[in-house]
Amino acid sequence: MNTQQLLAFLDESPVNYLAISAMERRLKEHGYKCLDARERFLQAEPGDKFYVTKNGSALFAFHIGRQRIDDGGFHLICAHSDSPTFRIKPDAEIIGGHGMVRLNVELYGGAIMSTWFDRPLSLAGRVVLRSEDPMHPEVRLLHIKRPLLTIPNLAIHFNRQVNDGVKLSKQKDMLPVLGLVTKELEWNGMLLNVIADELGADFTDILDFDLYLYDTTPACRVGVHNEFISAGRLDDLSMVHAGLTALLNTSQDIPQTTSVLAIFDNEETGSQTKQGAGSPFLASLIERLVIVQGGVPNDFFRAVENAFMISADNAHAWHPNYSEKYDPVLHPMLGGGPVVKYNASQKYASDAESAAVFMQLCQQVGVPCQRFVNHSDVAGGSTLGNILAGSLPLRGVDMGNPILGMHSIRELGAAFDHEAVIKVFEQFYRVR
Ligand code: ZN
């Protein structure tokens, strides 16, 4: 059930902006009100449900608990809305000598580029249109659902070594083909025409856009028992969906401790943006809530000390073809349950105490918990938890569901893990 909903959420969310909009729709259906961060917050009473967005690509949802935030802290689940992809550059069209039009793109995040070849791709993101008010142009979301582009591979006959490994240039090899300029149809801004058509807007009103490539192939179940999930953007939209589902499933009853779901943008490029985990935005929201509940500015620090964070970002599952890449003892399995991540250099926030909190939550709902450490000669990745510590020094754990093929255009997860982690997150939002 939850897994079917995850597949629908992934298909609705080809990029960060669309993922946030898909979240907003679900939050509103469950009685969450959208607050504008430019307005003064007037109240935060037990049972109040609201959310705030930042840049249209990050979202912060709150379900206010019975205890004041400074006295009881808050239970925070955070995850990220962005995934590796290719961004369309301005003035992107490159017209070849024979009328073949390609788009100029640049890499966003650490994609496995070879997985983007020979796929039916399309465009999604946001388009900015002329308005009456120069300080506030009109922003429209764009999700072109039909296959529009593809990045064709080079035939093996021109590169006999292709199966021995190929070095790819982001600028030369990865440009998608958009179409052919025919003799009858003179070129007159092919991309802008497609966008204008899709939005029902005037071509000349388009000022700029933040548009990205995505794979139009829908998310699906795979495996003899349908045990796997094959989809783009499992990292980290599967954890976004799990956090959101847990928040909505627990929103009928007023919790003791305030529930917070924070979905940051730009994790894949280092989080140092106004809508990323390196920004003080979430801390500023917490501070405003503390004050509106009658606290003094100093009480913000009590709220932080009383809080707990689950930083949810996918973990590496054990790959049967590459066992030498993994720690000799600990290698989480697909379908083995959520994974706590540890790192001696503190790339992850987990420590023995915070990990124990998470393990106890798992035990309470009968969910198995796995643990991940890097092979000691492999550097590994980092995530949200410790970046957030710069503005919110929270007690917390880094965890995530195991997946294979992280940062491929399609990643592989397990349905069991998705159902299991939602139970743990629900328990986290329910406990005192
Ligand atoms: Zn991630």
- Using a pLDDT cut of 70, give the percent of the chain over it: 99
Is 184 a residue whose pLDDT tops 80?
no
Tell me what percent of the chain is helix, strand and coil, each rounded to the nearest 5. 30, 25, 45
- Using a pLDDT cut of 90, give the percent of the chain over it: 90
Q: Quick check: is 31 in a domain?
A: yes
Q: In this structure, are 102 and 150 located in the same domain?
A: yes
**For 97-127, what is each residue's pLDDT tens digit?**
788 999 999 999 999 999 999 999 999 999 9
Pairing of strands 206-215, 121-129: antiparallel
- 384 SS3 class: coil
Q: In this structure, are 273 and 422 located in the same domain?
A: yes
Per-residue pLDDT band at 379 (split at 50, 70, 90): confident
Count of C-beta atoms within a 10 Å radius of residue 212? 25
Q: What is the pLDDT of residue 366?
A: 98
> Distance between CA atoms of 244 and 29, rounded to whole angstroms?
12
- pLDDT greater at residue 273 or residue 378: 273
Q: What is the pLDDT of residue 187?
A: 61
Q: Quick check: is 221 in a domain?
A: no
Contact yes or no for 64/46 (Cβ under 8 A): yes
234 contacts: CB under 8 Å, gap ≥ 6? 10, 314, 403, 411, 412, 413
The total domain count for the chain is: 2
Q: In this structure, are 402 and 272 located in the same domain?
A: yes
Q: In this structure, are 289 and 403 located in the same domain?
A: yes
Rounded to the nearest angstrom, the distance between the alpha carbon of 236 and the centre of ligand 1 is 5
Is 382 a residue whose pLDDT tops 70?
yes
Rounded to the nearest angstrom, the distance between the alpha carbon of 239 and the centre of ligand 1 is 9
> Distance between CA atoms of 395 and 365, rounded to whole angstroms?
22
For residue 169, which phi and psi values (nearest 5 degrees)?
-95, 130
Mean pLDDT estimate for the chain: 95
Q: In this structure, are 124 and 25 located in the same domain?
A: no
Q: In this structure, are 414 and 317 located in the same domain?
A: yes
Rounded to the nearest angstrom, the distance between the alpha carbon of 382 and the centre of ligand 1 is 9
Q: What is the pLDDT of residue 186?
A: 59
Is 229 a residue whose pLDDT tops 70?
yes
**For 252-302, what is each residue's pLDDT tens digit?**
999 999 999 999 999 999 999 999 999 999 999 999 999 999 999 999 999
Q: Quick check: is 225 in a domain?
A: no
334-355 mean pLDDT = 94
Q: Residue 24's domain spans which residues?
A: 2-83+232-430
Contact yes or no for 403/411 (Cβ under 8 A): yes
Rounded to the nearest angstrom, the distance between the alpha carbon of 246 and the centre of ligand 1 is 19
Rounded to the nearest angstrom, the distance between the alpha carbon of 67 and the centre of ligand 1 is 32
